[in-house]
Amino acid sequence: MAKKVLFYLNQFFGGIGGEDKADFEPEFRAELVGPAEAIAKNFGDDLEAVGVIICGDNFFGQKEDEARAFIAQVIDEQQPDIFVAGPAFNAGRYGFACAGACQVANEAGVTCVSGMYEENPGLEHCQSFAWVAQTANAAAQMRKALPLMANLVKKLAAGEEVTPDDDKYFAQGRRECILVEERGSVRAVNMLLARLNDEEFTTELPMPSFDVVEPAAPILDLSKATIALATSGGIVPNGNPDRLQSASAQQWNKYDISSYDQLKGDFYTVHGGFDPVYCNETADRVLPLDALRDMEKAGKIGKVYDFFYATTGTGTAVANARKFGEEIGKELKEAGVDGVLLTST
Amino acid sequence: MVKEIERYGIPIVHMATITTISQSVGANRIVPTVAIPYPTGNPNLPLEDEYKLRYSLVERAVNALATAVDEPTQFEG
């Protein structure tokens, strides 16, 4: 019996409309459209496309419970074996919706396939259980994305082995027990020997890769340097006038400290990830304005920059932290700041 | 955040207690601090000693800004 495949698309790729239709209420259609149709063209007799769910990205974002309930209901009715969402490329809302839809399918025991760009914020929400094909960042590369997704659907349906390298999907971070010929100690020694002999070797446990930023050149004359303070410790004026979130920060704030010699008494923390008692007695315990001000008075540094920058570093998405850093760095650069001390709790 | 700010060519010191995280994400200048709830303080010390501790940490961080590094480097006391 053929395995059943159910698709999920947003309003745009589902042919409903653009941004003006982003509130489109989810619908199930037996007739395929767009990327769903294109992927299904590759199917043989062992796969049957049962239809497509089309849902507006804003609808999913704003009425997620309703959208999820609808998807769950369609899955219950159609009983698919495989759920295919996207590709979403680097579209954030669509990526979140695809990830959310996949979560519903996954909970129902359905195998999930999607396609995203590596920086799509939805990726981290489904990477661990879905097979997410690695796509470019824009839909202009649709032609390349669709065969990757079709390949995953076909292989998974047939129970064939897939690997991130061969099948171009994001590694799920799972370890699986497999049988190999040589035991671990032999493989380890062989790997070491290869390494010592400058031969090619492949690690069995790749470490996550982080991009590297070249260290900035040092400050040549501290006595003329403007130094800024920044923190992920959630330091704000008492009362939190800008409503900085206590976790999963969506923003950063800056505060004028040009007339302050210390933070004690006027600032506190809204960070939800550590015991705030000590910081709230003396916020300089987290952001040391008092000591830096004394260095300024002693002429050891030129000046404390007039503003400090703060966000909350607990549960905050890496993508957000990156964005905050970009925005803060731009301001500091334009203000001619020479160096920064950033404290983390 | 540290990395994105440094990308503008501004030297930056990460003052953090869990330096392994700081190191693994790629901060280039790191000053290890006291504890998560009070990186630049220690409520168990008399105020004067606590301030001396804080000043020494800040001084070390400022000096790190004036020190050339070519890879992630911890500035220990």
Looking at residue A282, its pLDDT comes to 97
Query: Are A139 and A43 found together in one domain?
Result: yes
Query: Is A199 domain-assigned?
Result: no
Residue A15 pLDDT level (bands cut at 50, 70, 90): very high
> Of A37, A28, A32, A34, which Cα lies nearest the Cα of A12?
A34
Query: Are A118 and A41 found together in one domain?
Result: yes
- Its domain, for residue A11, covers 3-167
Query: Is A322 domain-assigned?
Result: yes
* Angle in degrees, CA A215, A217, A221, rounded to 5: 140
Instruction: Give the integer Cα–Cα distance in Å for A268 and A273.
Output: 14
Q: For A83-100, what is each residue's pLDDT tens digit?
A: 999 999 988 889 999 999
Q: For A225-253, what is each residue's pLDDT tens digit?
A: 999 999 999 999 999 999 999 998 999 99
**How many distinct structural domains can be found in chain A?**
2
Looking at residue A212, its pLDDT comes to 85
Query: Are A120 and A27 found together in one domain?
Result: yes
Query: Is A268 domain-assigned?
Result: yes
How far apart are the CA of A321 and the nearest CA of chain B, in angstroms? 5
Q: What CATH code is carried by the domain that includes residue A133?
A: 3.40.50
pLDDT at A315 over 90: no
Which among B3, B62, B66 has CB closest to A213?
Answer: B3
Window 26-55 of B: residues touching A by CB (8 A cutoff) are 26, 28-29, 33, 36-41, 43, 51, 54-55
> Which of A124, A140, A167 is the endpoint of a domain?
A167
Query: Is A96 domain-assigned?
Result: yes
Looking at residue A210, its pLDDT comes to 61
> Of B21, B3, B33, B23, which Cα lies nearest the Cα of A321?
B3
Residue numbers in B near A253 (CB within 8 A): none
Query: Is A288 domain-assigned?
Result: yes
Q: Are the beta carbons of A276 and B37 separated by less than 8 Å? A: yes
A280 shares contact with chain B (CB less than 8 Å): no
Query: Are A47 and A127 found together in one domain?
Result: yes
Which among B6, B36, B66 has CB closest to A274?
Answer: B36
A225 shares contact with chain B (CB less than 8 Å): yes
Average pLDDT value for residue range B8-24: 90
Query: Are A149 and A28 found together in one domain?
Result: yes
Query: Is A274 domain-assigned?
Result: yes
Query: Are A11 and A160 found together in one domain?
Result: yes
Query: Are A133 and A272 found together in one domain?
Result: no
Query: Are A54 and A158 found together in one domain?
Result: yes
Which residue did the predictor score with more confidence, A61 or B39?
Answer: B39
Which among B11, B25, B36 has CB closest to A216?
Answer: B11
A321 shares contact with chain B (CB less than 8 Å): yes
pLDDT at A154 over 80: yes
Q: Are the beta carbons of B65 and A213 separated by less than 8 Å? A: no
Query: Is A187 domain-assigned?
Result: no
Q: Are the beta carbons of B11 and A212 separated by less than 8 Å? A: no
Query: Is A315 domain-assigned?
Result: yes
Looking at residue A39, its pLDDT comes to 96
Query: Are A119 and A240 found together in one domain?
Result: no
Looking at residue A317, its pLDDT comes to 77
Looking at residue B31, its pLDDT comes to 97
Query: Are A120 and A245 found together in one domain?
Result: no
B71 shares contact with chain A (CB less than 8 Å): yes
Query: Are A158 and A243 found together in one domain?
Result: no
Give the residue ranges of DSSP H helices in A108-251.
142-157, 164-167, 184-196
Q: Phi and psi dihedrals of A24, rounded to 5?
A: -55, 125
Query: Are A231 and A161 found together in one domain?
Result: no
Residue numbers in B near A251 (CB within 8 A): none
Task: Determine the distance from the C-alpha atom of residue A8 to the mean position of all C-alpha atoms in its chain, rounded to a whole number.
Answer: 21
